Amino acid sequence: MSERITLHVNGIDHELPAGIDPETPLLTVLRNDLGLKGPKFGCGLEQCNACKVLIDGADVPSCEIPIARVAGLAITTVEGLGTPDNPHPLQEAFVEEQAIQCGYCASGMIIAAQGLLNRVRYPTDDEIRAALADNICRCGVYERVRRAIKMRIGRPIWEPIYEVVEGEPIPDPPVETDGPLPASLVTTPELDRWVRINPGGTITIFTGKVEYGQGIQTAVAQIAAEELDVDLARIEVAGVATGAAPDEGATVGSLSLETTGPAVRQAAAEARQHLLDLAFEELEAETPAAGLVVADGTITDPATGRQTTYWDLFAGRRFERPVTGAAAPKPAAAHRLVGRPETRLDLLAKVTGQPSYLHDLELPGMVYGRVLRPPAYDAHLVSFDEAAVRALPGVIAVVRDGRFLAVIAEREEQAVRALAAMKEQAVWDNRTALPPQDQLYDYMLAQPSRDFLVDRGTATTDPIPPRLEEEPGDRVLAATYYRPYHMHGSLGPSAAAALFQDGRLTVWAQTQGVYPQQAALAAALAMEPDEIEVIYAEGSGCYGHNGADDAAFDAALLALALPGRPVALQWMREDEHGWEPYGSAMVVKLQAALDEAGAVRAWNHDVWSFAHTTRSRPGAAGTSLVAAWHRAEPIEPFQPGPTLGNNFGEYRNADPLYAFPNRRIVTHFLAGSPLRTSSLRSLGAYANVFAIESFMDELAAAAGVDPVEFRLRHLADKRARAVVEAAAARAGWEPRTWPAGEGRGRGIAFARYKNRQAYAAIVVDLEVDRTTGAIQMKRAVIAADAGQIVNPDGLSNQLEGGFIQAASWTLHEAVAFDESGVRSQDWDGYPILRATGVPELATVLINRPEQPFLGSGEGTQPPAPAAIANAVY
């Protein structure tokens, strides 16, 4: 009998179960045997370092190192540094600096930071950046991490990362409303579906929007606490699951706060009014109900001093009434919680390694699944020796359904080992034939397209006029801009869990919408939607339609193959890189005429793109779930056509906000992308604004006008002008009409997302190494107007992260492929921005409390690339 292995973790000796393979990665044992969920699986290749732990004080990745190698050494995980009740100063600093978004990287970052501090007591900024260079954060919080580490060691942080300025009042503000009630309340009017008064002094708020690091739960809690006049700590935001949650569609399009915020606000205001009406009766009040005073849920009649509480009045009861719009929410001037940088509710758990993610889920009797995808889109299974895999230790089932192959094992490392064996056993015939990557844009322009005229942001079937031409004396410029395929590249590969029991399927998924996911699963499995429950569980940041829905379907198939046992399904890094739907490649051609005064007289914009939204739709043929394409009885892929509407996919932000007198904007929709595509943060706006804002600098140079001045001359929208001016002022912009030279550059770009959501302008300072061509961003200033601000720290974090992510796309990223398939299979094959490439950040938030919330999660992606390109230019 082999000797049992003992690990010394967080000061405690743990004797591992007999028979455990000594080659098992440390990460697997920490997470599954010791229940330490802080270290995360990100790649299994020691490339992303989400799995870092301290071994004898040195920070090292734990995803590959075998347990046999670390027996007897002192291992420390993020849980060993501190707990929610007694956090370590580094963990406190991460919370205070809000140095996380989704937080999937946080454990690895904190451990890397502690490893650094174990080596260097007072590291410099460059030493901090260098120490974090191996840790990937896909949400882009590197700069906040650097600041948190400085805070921990007591070094000064001279400048705030953001500041809030009150916007100048806008005459006759264009207040945008849905109608008498927010749309979500029209769909789900029952007050009990939004607010519940609990015994024990808490209040539960329901929303249909899911949290994936954008801070929506905290913002919702702030809004509800504000209207109900209770402390924030009394608010619990319910998890999102089919049946329980209001149906607010998918959490997409920077619409979380815009959609659910007004609904929660109205529902909470009506709950408060109902409670005051009850209190008026209960207290036999001498003050009208509207005059009763509420403080943290205690209601006082000022005339008599008599008191009651929400909980004494109503705990456990149901409102049993619809939200009608009868109660008026508080005026902005009365707000005391909305507008404040409240600490996000989920941070402390995440920085101390508490189970917070789908990947951390543990269910009784849970087993582990892995899927073997074909090596390329059009690879067909020739042969596969199932028996050889079945015979491996721990293997419970091998699932083979057409070219969908998967394995289920008792332990996770056994599933991973079986997957490796499956790879060796499977023989494929790869018929994939992609165009050469270096000819991609020519290929796109040669494809038949479906063309539509875009009028005020809306694609129409109106006849497309010929290109607008110049007049005598005008100067004409033309330019073409390209965007490669980009990937979401979530730090944690997609995962899901599923249980099929008593004819019902329960799926834990990181979907953007539990109801759309329920419908898609039902359609693909030929089940009734009410036979399927979808429970949202947070994963790492997703940034759009990534592999999460596919993983949920994979898990469902495995659960159906093994009824009665919950199956945890985790994609490997190559699954995520190789099979997620990418942001589409695009080509944008611009042509404009400048009149003799240097103003734009005519503007032409043509954009070619594949689909940006390929998630299957109820009632439409086909499915977007990968495994369904591969089963023996396949369902064809959903084939999206062009969508006529306002600022959709490929023509999002194609129509500039500038006051050009003549414009012709045409979208050329291409079907049949060589690579799988779907929604990636900001969709087509990223490339359209890249083109527009780069071209604006070319036009400004041709007109001999400073780029800021040139923009302002063409901007009538006061809020747009305000963000451009704020960014320029904060950056110390000096008017210029010629390049800075000396390898240093400064650029500006601006956009209003979808021309109806947040406004953002960005100024980037950078240096170019003229020998190598390497670009180093030094500083970025963001100015944004997102209407009324709920949580400025959260808003700034979103804007910063959006900029950093888009800067990474711009400077480093392109999905690599050749004729036989995708070659970007891991982080080495898809390099992204690291901590060493991140500039200092400063954000100016223009608060407009009298205005509606404007979605901002994708506000900085569109102007980011042109701010960088213009600085290089």
Dihedral of alpha carbons 637, 641, 646, 651, sign: positive
484 binds ligand FES (CB under 6 A): no
With a CB cutoff of 8 Å and minimum separation 6, the contacts of 438 are none
φ, ψ at 187 (rounded to 5°): -70, -40
Residue number with CB closer to ligand FES (140 or 642)? 140
φ, ψ at 300 (rounded to 5°): -125, 135
x/- site string to ligand FES, residues 156 to 195, per CB under 6 A?
----------------------------------------
Footprint of ligand FES on 716-775 (CB under 6 A): none
Binding range to ligand FES, per CB under 6 A, among 131-139, 326-334, 379-387, 822-830: 131-139
Dihedral of alpha carbons 234, 235, 238, 243, sign: positive
**What span, in angstroms and rounded, lies between the C-alpha atoms of 298 and 228?**
10
104 binds ligand FES (CB under 6 A): yes
Type of residue at 42:
G
Residue number with CB closer to ligand FES (346 or 697)? 346
Residue number with CB closer to ligand FES (142 or 485)? 142
Give the SS3 label for residue 371.
strand
Q: How far is CA 175 from the centre of its chain?
A: 28
Residue 845: enclosing H or E segment and its boundaries? strand 840-847
- What is the nearest approach in angstroms of ligand FES to the Cβ of residue 136? 7
Best CA proximity match to 510, nearest among 584, 574, 571: 571
- What is the nearest approach in angstroms of ligand FES to the Cβ of residue 256? 16
**367-372 and 567-570 strand pairing:** parallel
One of 9, 51, 141, 586 touching ligand FES (CB under 6 A): 141
**What span, in angstroms and rounded, lies between the C-alpha atoms of 550 and 545?**
10
- Which two structure tokens, joined as six digits, stand for 42? 């990100």
421 binds ligand FES (CB under 6 A): no
User: Facing residues of 66 across strands?
Assistant: 25
218 binds ligand FES (CB under 6 A): no
One of 213, 253, 374, 792 touching ligand FES (CB under 6 A): 213
Residue number with CB closer to ligand FES (216 or 292)? 216
Residue number with CB closer to ligand FES (301 or 800)? 800
105 binds ligand FES (CB under 6 A): yes
What's the chain's length in residues? Answer: 873
**What span, in angstroms and rounded, lies between the C-alpha atoms of 762 and 849?**
23
137 binds ligand FES (CB under 6 A): yes
252 binds ligand FES (CB under 6 A): no
**What span, in angstroms and rounded, lies between the C-alpha atoms of 240 and 514?**
7
**What span, in angstroms and rounded, lies between the C-alpha atoms of 221 and 257?**
11
Give the Cβ contact number of residue 320 at 10 Å: 8
x/- site string to ligand FES, residues 290 to 329, per CB under 6 A?
----------------------------------------
**What span, in angstroms and rounded, lies between the C-alpha atoms of 165 and 624?**
44
- What is the nearest approach in angstroms of ligand FES to the Cβ of residue 687? 24
**What span, in angstroms and rounded, lies between the C-alpha atoms of 837 and 192?**
49
Best CA proximity match to 508, nearest among 622, 680, 403, 362: 362
- What is the nearest approach in angstroms of ligand FES to the Cβ of residue 241? 23
Residue 235 near residue 205, CB atoms below 8 Å? yes
* String of DSSP letters for 386-455: HHHHHTSTTEEEEEEETTEEEEEESSHHHHHHHHHHHHHH-EEEE---PPPGGGHHHHHHHS--EEEEEE
Residue number with CB closer to ligand FES (96 or 451)? 96
139 binds ligand FES (CB under 6 A): yes
Residue number with CB closer to ligand FES (350 or 714)? 350
Binding range to ligand FES, per CB under 6 A, among 133-141, 330-338, 503-511, 512-520: 133-141
Number of residues that bind ligand FES (CB under 6 A): 14
One of 210, 491, 519, 838 touching ligand FES (CB under 6 A): 491
Rg (the chain; Cα; Å): 28
Residue number with CB closer to ligand FES (540 or 847)? 540
- What is the nearest approach in angstroms of ligand FES to the Cβ of residue 797? 9
- What is the nearest approach in angstroms of ligand FES to the Cβ of residue 109? 7
Residue 577 near residue 516, CB atoms below 8 Å? no
101 binds ligand FES (CB under 6 A): yes
- What is the nearest approach in angstroms of ligand FES to the Cβ of residue 51? 13
- What is the nearest approach in angstroms of ligand FES to the Cβ of residue 213? 5
Residue number with CB closer to ligand FES (182 or 801)? 801
- What is the nearest approach in angstroms of ligand FES to the Cβ of residue 783? 23
Give the Cβ contact number of residue 1 at 10 Å: 5
Binding range to ligand FES, per CB under 6 A, among 137-145, 358-366, 561-569, 618-626: 137-145
User: Facing residues of 196 across strands?
Assistant: 204
Binding range to ligand FES, per CB under 6 A, among 134-142, 255-263, 458-466, 771-779: 134-142
Burial of 244 (0-12, 13-18, 19+ CB in 10 A): middle
Residue number with CB closer to ligand FES (102 or 497)? 102
**202-205 and 235-237 strand pairing:** parallel
- What is the nearest approach in angstroms of ligand FES to the Cβ of residue 140? 7
x/- site string to ligand FES, residues 528 to 547, per CB under 6 A?
------------xx------
138 binds ligand FES (CB under 6 A): yes
- What is the nearest approach in angstroms of ligand FES to the Cβ of residue 53? 18
Best CA proximity match to 827, nearest among 374, 482, 493: 493
**What span, in angstroms and rounded, lies between the C-alpha atoms of 319 and 335?**
25
- What is the nearest approach in angstroms of ligand FES to the Cβ of residue 188? 30
User: Facing residues of 843 across strands?
Assistant: 162, 782
- What is the nearest approach in angstroms of ligand FES to the Cβ of residue 541? 4
Q: Which residues contact ligand FES by CB under 6 A?
A: 100-105, 137-139, 141, 213, 491, 540-541
